Amino acid sequence: MSDRPPSRPTRRRAPDDGSVSVFVADEQGDGERHPVDVGRWVRLAEAVLGAEGVVGDTELSVLFVDPDTMRDLNIRFMGGDGPTDVLAFPLDEAVVEPGRWPDGGLPGPDREPTASDELPLLLGDVVICPAVAAANAADHAGTYDDEVALLLVHGILHLLGMDHVDPDERAAMQARERELLARFHGPLAGDPWRP
């Protein structure tokens, strides 16, 4: 599984009122397509975010893309080569003030600036490549659905600050993946955490 872009400062807190919103989009191109059950992955993402204590007005996007798109993202943002299975892009750690770009002018005569504590927390994007997930599934999580579930949970945990750079971090992240998958997805046909 791919890493996320370099870590960022702690993000701001979501407004207390409001709810967690998960947006899932199947953006695979016209080539070979793999099934994406949008509703299922929305429910899994919502359950994981709830279990991780994410509350308030928060947004998460999950995109399913084709290998060409994933290859481009991997090269541009990770310095990788070729398509990968999952990438996580944290978005919101500080509020961008409204106004014109690039001069930072006022938002305009008909709009009042929005207080930063009223804006939803944009948690980030998890991008998954179903073609790579399908290719890796048999030797990793076991089935295509198990692999996609693992990638989704893995990506969300990255957005929430977990990582696997050193052995202790890896062990903690893998333990949390196991717990969340067992609770909200069910047992995996394979063991993606084997040495």
Q: What is the mean pLDDT of residues 62-89?
A: 96
Q: What is the mean pLDDT of residues 182-195?
A: 95
pLDDT band per the 50, 70, 90 thresholds, residue 12: very low
pLDDT at 91: 87
CB atoms within 10 A of CB 118: 11
Examine the pLDDT at 8 and tell me if it is beyond 50.
no
Examine the pLDDT at 102 and tell me if it is beyond 70.
no
Sequence spans of domains, the chain: 20-184
pLDDT at 14: 53
CATH superfamily of 20-184: Metalloproteases ("zincins"), catalytic domain (3.40.390.30)
**What angle do helix axes 38-51 and 167-184 make, rounded to 10 degrees?**
120
pLDDT at 30: 83
For the chain, the average pLDDT equals 85
CA dihedral 29, 154, 24, 181 (to 10 degrees): 120
SS (H, E, C) 109-127: CCCCCCCHHHCCEEEEEEE
Q: What is the mean pLDDT of residues 15-42?
A: 90
Q: What is the mean pLDDT of residues 163-179?
A: 96
Give the lowest-confidence range in 30-39, 137-146, 174-183.
Answer: 30-39
Examine the pLDDT at 36 and tell me if it is beyond 80.
yes
Taking the C-alpha atoms of residue 159 and residue 89, their distance in angstroms, rounded to an integer, is 7
Q: What is the mean pLDDT of residues 144-166?
A: 96
Q: Considering the entire predicted model, what is its pTM?
A: 0.81
